[in-house]
A and B are shown apart, each in its own frame.
Chain A
C-alpha cells in the first residue's frame, strides 16, 4: 500500500467519516464532494486519480456515496479500514432515521426539517460544482477526453441515463482506445 508510511488510525477514520455522515446533507454526489475535499485535498489520504477510480467502481456498484467511503477506508487500512469508514458514514444517518421513524410512528407526523434542507441545497450544489471544475482541470486534457466528459454529462442530463450504464459505456470505449493504441504503437 502506498500510504503505509503514514499509518492512519482506525479511530481517526471512523471520526472523519462520521463527520461526513453528519454533515453531508444532499446525499449522493454531495458526499462524494465532501470526501474529495477532506480525504483528497485536506488530509491527502488518497490521490485524486485513485479517488476517481474508486468513484467509478462505486457508481457501477450502486450506492456510490457509501462505496466511495468504503473504498477510501480500505485504501488506508485494508478491510478493517473499509468497514470502519462504512460504519462511520452510515451510523449518523442510521441514528437520525431511527429517531425520525420513532417520532413518525408515535406521532404520525414528519418533523419540519425541510426548511433547513432548503438552505443547504444551494451550498451543496456549489461544493459539487467546485469538485467537478477542479477535477476537470486536472483530468480533462485533449479532444478525446473533452468529448467523453461532455458525452457523459449529456447522457445523464438530457437522456437521463443511469450513471452505471454511462460508465460501462465509457469503460468499453476507453478499453477499445487502449487496445487500439497498443497495436499501433508497436
Chain B
C-alpha cells in the first residue's frame, strides 16, 4: 500500500498538468503509474482506461481506478479529489471574476466574438463521435429517432439516454 499522502501529492501534480487538455493525461498517467511508481501493469492500465471511459465522468476517472489499486476505496477517493482539485479551483476563480470581467468592453466583445468558434467545436465533437462510432442501419435509425425526440419534443434527455442503453443491451 502506498501512503495516502504520496497518492495525494502525485495526483495533485497530475491535476495541475491536466489543466490544458484531457488527452495529454493518458501518456502522462501511463508514465507515472506504470513506469515511475509501478502501481499498475501495462495491461491493467489499459483495462482501467477502458473502464473509466464507461462512466459519464471525464477521462480522469482513471485516477479513481489507479488510486483504488494502490490504496483501496480511500485511495480512490484521495486520488479523485486531488486530480480534480486544481481545475475546480481555477474554474471557481474564473467564475468569481467573470461578471467583473464581462463588464469590461474589450473582454466582453472578445468573449462574444469567440462564441461561433465554441459552436464549431460542439459540432466537431458530434462529427468526430459519429465518424468513429456510427455503423449499421440500427445505429442510424437510433440516431434519427433520437434527433427527432430532442429537436421537437420536450422529453427529458435522461430518459432517452437510459432507454437507448437498455435497448442496446437487449439488441447486442
**Which positions in A face B, CB cutoff 8 Å?**
1-2, 19-34, 37-38, 49-50, 52-63, 65-67, 70-71, 74-75, 78-79, 82-83, 86, 89-90, 92-94, 96-98, 100-102, 104-105, 110, 113-133, 135-136, 139-140, 145-146, 148-153, 156-157, 162-164, 166-167, 170-171, 173-175, 177-179, 181-182
Question: How close is A112's CB to chain B, nearest CB, in angstroms?
Answer: 9
Q: How far is the CB of A105 from chain B (nearest CB, A)?
A: 6
B160 partner residues in chain A, CB cutoff 8 A: 123, 127
Contact indicator A128/B125 (Cβ below 8 Å): yes
Known: A62-B21, A63-B84, A66-B88. Contact between A149 and B119, CB under 8 A? Answer: yes
**Segment at the interface with A among B1-9, B29-37, B59-67:** B59-67
- One digit per residue, 1 when the CB lies within 8 angstroms of any chain A CB and 0 when it does not, for chain B 26-60 equals 00000000000000000000011011111111111
CB distance from B83 to the nearest CB of A (A): 9
Contact of A119 among B19, B147, B167 (CB under 8 A): B167
B53, B80, B118, B164, most chain A CB atoms within 10 A? B118
Interchain CA distance A74-B93 in the complex, whole Å = 10
Q: B interface, how many residues as a size bin?
A: 35 or more
A117 to chain B, nearest CB (A): 7
Q: Which residues from A are CB-within-8-Å of B142?
A: 119, 122-123
Chain B residues near A75: list those with CB within 8 A.
95, 98
Q: Which residues of A contact B50 (CB under 8 A)?
A: 110
With a cutoff of 8 Å between Cβ atoms, the chain B residues found around residue A34 in the complex are 157-158
A57 cross-chain contacts in B, Cβ below 8 A:
91, 94, 98
Contact B69 A145 (CB under 8 A): no
> Could you list some 27 contacts between A and B, CB below 8 A?
A20-B56, A24-B56, A25-B54, A25-B56, A56-B114, A61-B19, A62-B21, A74-B96, A79-B92, A82-B92, A101-B64, A101-B69, A110-B50, A122-B142, A122-B146, A123-B143, A123-B146, A127-B160, A128-B126, A145-B115, A152-B119, A156-B121, A162-B23, A171-B110, A171-B114, A173-B113, A177-B113
Q: Decide: B162 and A94 in contact? CB cutoff 8 A.
A: no
Q: Which of B95, B98, B114, B150 has the most chain A CB within a 10 Å cutoff?
A: B114
Closest residue of chain A to B171, judged by CB?
Answer: A119
Q: A57-B91, A82-B91 are in contact. List 16 more A-B contacts (CB 8 A).
A: A37-B150, A59-B121, A61-B90, A75-B98, A83-B88, A89-B57, A90-B57, A93-B56, A93-B64, A100-B54, A131-B122, A132-B122, A139-B119, A163-B121, A164-B20, A171-B114
The 5 A-B residue pairs whose C-beta atoms are closest, nearest first, are A119-B168, A174-B113, A93-B57, A152-B120, A74-B95
